[in-house]
Amino acid sequence: MNETFTPIQRLLPDALSDRLREMIVEGALVPGAKINERELCEAFGVSRTPLREAVQALAKEGLIQITPRRGARVAPMTVADLDEVFPIMGALEALAGELACARIAPNQVAEIRVLHDAMVAAYRRGDRHSYFQLNEEIHDRIFKAAGNQTLIQMRRSLAARVRRARFRANLSPQRWEKAVAEHEQIVAALEAADGPRLGRLLRDHLAGKLETVRAAILAEAAEAED
């Protein structure tokens, strides 16, 4: 594991969960990797208790699998799981977009445009980490603008599994370029308050990522069989 750690004293389980989640989403902890408690405790400067609480939390999100007497490992990313989760998230994103267009304030739209421009700048300098963080912030802002707590809670229950696939979907230059172009259309539809169009764009944007990741997983499986 080549991740560079910043030791944090008295790190709370929630903060530790955030750090481990980021490592899984961005591939620092790969699917199937064993969660080495001793190594992670030393790296983060924490005891086993908060680490185990964080691992349990990520297990509930579907990012970690815990097997009795065998310990914890990063959960695999399977086609079956993606095919189950992505259509649901696509429907949630589409509804959030439609509601946001009806309720969002002009200053909120302007803030999302600023985030989008910063995201494009990150893309141009090849900064995947910053790009992804800004991308997630844009989607978060759209959901918040929708003003529906039930919708936000439903999204939160699926978000971690979808985020990992979203990050992986932009690994090729072609797909990354396409994603940026799609985001420009998404922000333009929001600025125009065109709810039906924004809903379609968000759904299609997620569907494109699903197809990209599905193809990658199937290709890897075929290579492993050869």
Class of domain 79-225: mainly alpha
Q: What is the Cα 219 distance to its own chain's centre?
A: 22
Domain ranges of the chain: 13-74, 79-225
What DSSP character marks residue 34? B
pLDDT, tens digit, 9 for 90 and up, residues 44-88: 888 899 999 999 999 988 899 999 888 899 998 888 888 999 999
| Amino acid (1-letter code) at residue 169 | A
How much is the mean pLDDT over the chain?
A: 88
Are both 13-74 and 79-225 of the same fold? no
What DSSP character marks residue 28? S
pLDDT, tens digit, 9 for 90 and up, residues 20-38: 998 998 888 888 899 999 9
What DSSP character marks residue 65? E
* HEC secondary structure over 151-188: HHHHHHHHHHHHHHHHHHHCCCHHHHHHHHHHHHHHHH
- Predicted pLDDT of residue 8: 47
Distance, in Å, from the CA atom of 212 to the CA atom of 216, rounded to the nearest integer, reads: 6
Distance, in Å, from the CA atom of 103 to the CA atom of 4, rounded to the nearest integer, reads: 42
pLDDT, tens digit, 9 for 90 and up, residues 186-224: 999 999 999 999 999 999 999 988 888 888 888 777 776
Identify which of 196, 169, 192, 191 has the alpha carbon closest to the alpha carbon of residue 180. 169
Distance, in Å, from the CA atom of 148 to the CA atom of 145, rounded to the nearest integer, reads: 8
Q: What is the Cα 160 distance to its own chain's centre?
A: 6
Mean pLDDT to the nearest integer, 153-177: 83
| Amino acid (1-letter code) at residue 20 | L
Confidence (pTM): 0.79
Class of domain 13-74: mainly alpha
Residue 84, SS3? helix
- Predicted pLDDT of residue 9: 47
The H-assigned helical ranges of the chain are 13-25, 37-44, 48-60, 79-103, 106-124, 128-146, 149-169, 173-191, 195-225
Q: How far is CA 155 from CA 69, 177, 186, 188, in A?
A: 33, 26, 19, 23
Using CB atoms within 10 Å of the CB of residue 29, give its burial: 0 to 12 exposed, 13 to 18 middle, 19+ buried: buried
Mean pLDDT to the nearest integer, 128-142: 94
- Predicted pLDDT of residue 148: 96
Strands 64-67 and 71-74: antiparallel
Distance, in Å, from the CA atom of 45 to the CA atom of 212, rounded to the nearest integer, reads: 38
